[in-house]
Amino acid sequence: MSKASIRFEFLLLMATMMCLTALFVDSMLPALHQIGQELDALDNNRYQMVLTSLMVGLGVGQLFYGPIADAFGRKPTVYLGLALMLVGTMISTSAQSFEMMLVGRVLQGVGAAGPRVMVVTIIRDRFSGAEMARVLSLVMTIFIFSPVVAPLVGQVVLLFAGWRAIFGLLGVICLALLVWFAIRQPETLKTDNQRPLSLKPVMLGMKEVISHRVALVYILVAGLSHSSIIV
């Protein structure tokens, strides 16, 4: 296989991992009212928590995958994230109450944080400087299209089946990605860079970021930009 084709496959794999979150959020948009109606969550627009619950899980999950990846490797960390997504998807698919639906969605969000964090980590392991910036830019270029395509995917599924079928499709995509990643992506964590599992680096990193004014400005801008998409 040529070097160019390997690079293209790597970019596509990383972009697919990055797109998972958007797919799990935006593909549910056409089905929100149907979910709320079936699970008795139409009052006070509670059915919108189908989206926010996943985002909560995603935000919390991102705090922990870094130390896990540094201790056990990038591939096991991605496996963990995808496994949590599959379990959460099964819970949401079979949910008979709105509360159980939210449990599944939070678990999906915690799981989705794994592949999302590992995309940047794996790219950083393999590239540096301008080359790393170029690869990340290409991955993000592909990712930009996911919020546009995902609702269409959900709507197409609803034309032929109910909202549970959307979760079924998401589960199949997760499983396919898991197999693809396991077969085609080598481990990128070097033995010299392994660290014992500890939350201390996370707390120190958070303290450093919060105390850095420039970093806070970037966080604010990124947060407002992302919130405009969600709203």
pLDDT(228) > 70: no
Q: What is the mean pLDDT of residues 131-141?
A: 91
Provide the pLDDT for residue 193.
86
Q: What is the pLDDT of residues 199-220, one digit of tens each?
A: 777 788 778 888 888 888 888 8
Query: Model's pTM, two decimal places?
Result: 0.90
Domain assignments of the chain as residue spans, ordered by start: 3-190, 199-231
Contacts of 53 (CB under 8 A, 6+ apart): 102, 105, 106, 109
CA geometry: angle at 110 spanning 7 and 176, to 5°?
45
Q: Rounded mean pLDDT of the chain? A: 90
Domain 3-190: give its CATH code.
Answer: 1.20.1250.20
Provide the pLDDT for residue 144.
86
How confident is residue 197, by pLDDT bands cut at 50, 70 and 90? confident
